[in-house]
Structure 1
């Protein structure tokens, strides 16, 4: 191996830059230095951090083009402005959010690869969902993360499938209700219910879209009996968060509620189809899950009396698998 190859590998493996970016976003540096030149000592005093290490952080990120050093201090560059504001990027990089905190579980990747178990639990002493339940700010940041993640794809998800076939839809674990609200808005004859442990965000979404008469948020765990008799049960970005045992239990509840004629609609990044390989590792270390392939979904569902009818690529990143009871 030549020295150039070795150096490239070391740069790829270095944790310095990804952690520096996360610390900068967590401290709010891109926004604070946007359009302003601020001296390191003054900035450190404002933030309550040590000035010399802060200077080292800014110096490294300046070499990468996120900040520039001036006679008066540092300021955010045009490139660095991508780290400003409230976006999926900033929500995921901020170490105080659910997404940023979760990514630190990658330090336990060896444990996860060795055991197949989540690294998150090992790092924090409890699983991801328990963490969110015990820390409301993490829950709020996770809802924002999911809204950001789906926002760009929601129009594709709505247009890419014939939702009009279903008069009633139950969105199982639908979070802030972004997708269900969009589906109902596009199909005025449909009604929806959203199942979630905390329904406050979904209620706000439905109110904002004027859907209070057609959409209801129900506080319930998807491991418990679900509202029965709907035409369709939607699981969007749910099953990849769980190992096979728990994912199977969720599907079983959907199958139970949907009998005899309802459909189960699984929307996810499907392995070998739409999923990125880095997401496989993220699902593993955070949840002990993965981005399953079509045949893996079929095997999981068949154990609970479900058969796969169709697979539709509904967006740039996600596919929809439609199951029926047999």
Structure 2
């Protein structure tokens, strides 16, 4: 007897094997090993240093899932979807999915979602022995991978931000928690006469300095090592917060906003770039990830307005920048 349609749909939505199998393929670099052409199980097992029989079983499932295809001579090659697991393609998903990267490690904590729902707090440290940011900062490779992932995610937002941000009169941009500096570099490069200051922890700040030099912007952009919970560089025209507030619960997010309110010059703006649950309505999965990883949360426009008001800031406007992020502009109240 076959399962009724509703039962099959529920099973498909709750499947764990396929998502994990794809992540294992990303971690092992299977699609990279196939970059030069189709590869046999035996050769692929040697390249990836795994058991050939188990690898064959993994690939068998990933063929059914549409990630790879088996050609008549028994070798395997990626489909168009599987090719997105290669490192060298423009829209690669490998950094996001690999289990030994920062996001992949966070995804493993999803299995403790029940604990997060019961406690209302993050569960990452229960799995790894330390909080997410401490874990990432303790490993240079993890920190670099995370910064690279965040930079890649911002490339699609930069043109819209430049079009919507009203940059003509801006002379000093402060990127708060700016990671490797790609966003700040793009804004400063597109804004004649503007200077940029990035503030972040040691590893991303060092990466940002290198990137500024590579972009020929070392005379216009600088990176400062510090915490956004401490006083910020003062008198900026714009303070950028890209995917910062959602990492923190309300009390800590309010502290960041207060630091921006203290530092921004009169007439200046605080620009928040992150998803809003009432604008990017399909981002509920990210909201749960923020709970699991960090104890943070996504917010609605009204929740962000209230948070800003408590920090002495007033909401000026909200502009949707696509399916993932909105631009929220704040000014001193």
What range is the shorter-chain TM-score in?
Answer: over 0.9
Q: Which residue of 2 aligns with 1:325?
A: 332
Matched, 1:29 2:36: no
Q: Which segment drifts farther, 189-198 or 135-144?
A: 189-198
Alignment of 1:190-229 (within 5 A): 190-198=194-202, 199-229=205-235
- Matched with 2:107 is 103
Tell me whether 77-86 or 55-64 shows the greater mean CA deviation: 77-86
Normalized against structure 1, the TM-score is what? 0.94
2:9 alignment counterpart = 8
Q: Secondary structure at the match of 1:83?
A: coil
Change (3 A) 1:220 1:65: same
Distance 1:7 1:315, change over 3 A: closer
Count of residue pairs the alignment pairs up: 325
Residue 302 of structure 1 is matched in structure 2 by: 309
CA shift, 1:316, in A, is: 4.6
Moved more, 281-290 or 23-32: 281-290
Provide structure 1 residue ranges, at least 5 long, that are not aligned to the other structure. none
Per the alignment, residue 115 of structure 1 pairs with 119
Runs of 5+ consecutive residues of structure 2 not aligned to the other structure: none
**How far apart, in 2, do the equivalents of 1:118 and 1:309 lie?**
32
Q: Kindly indicate whether the alpha-carbon contact (under 8 Å) linking 2:63 and 2:70 is maintained by their aligned counterparts in 1.
A: yes
Counterpart Cα distance in 2 of 1:318 and 1:287: 19
For 2:179, the equivalent position in structure 1 comes to: 175
CA RMSD, Structure 1 to Structure 2 (Å): 1.8
Tell me if the contact between 2:30 and 2:48 (Cα under 8 Å) persists in the aligned partners. Answer: no
- SS of 2:20's equivalent? helix
What SS class does the counterpart of residue 212 from structure 1 fall into? coil
Q: TM-score, normalised by structure 2?
A: 0.92
**CA deviation digits over 1:164-191, x for unaligned, max 9?**
2321111100111111111111111211
CA shift, 1:77, in A, is: 2.9
Deviating more after overlay: 302-311 vs 127-136: 302-311
Displacement of 1:261 = 4.1
What is aligned with 1:79? 81
Identify the range of structure 1 (38-47 vs 231-240) with the bigger mean alpha-carbon deviation: 38-47
Cα distance in 2 between the residues matched to 1:205 and 1:311:
30
Counterpart contact for 2:85–2:92, Cα < 8 Å:
no
Q: Distance in 2 between matches of 1:72 and 1:320?
A: 50
Q: Distance in 1 between matches of 2:36 and 2:66?
A: 15
Checking the alignment, whether the CA contact within 8 Å between 2:173 and 2:195 is kept in structure 1 is yes
Secondary structure in structure 2 of the residue aligned to 1:323: strand
Q: Indicate the larger mover: 261-270 or 90-99.
A: 261-270
CA distance, structure 2, for counterparts of residue 304 and residue 127 of structure 1: 26
2-structure distance, mates of 1:37, 1:321? 47
The change in CA–CA distance for 1:316 and 1:207 in structure 2 (over 3 A counts) is farther
SS in 1 for 2:228: coil
**Separation in structure 1 between the aligned mates of residue 277 and residue 74 of structure 2, nearest angstrom:** 50
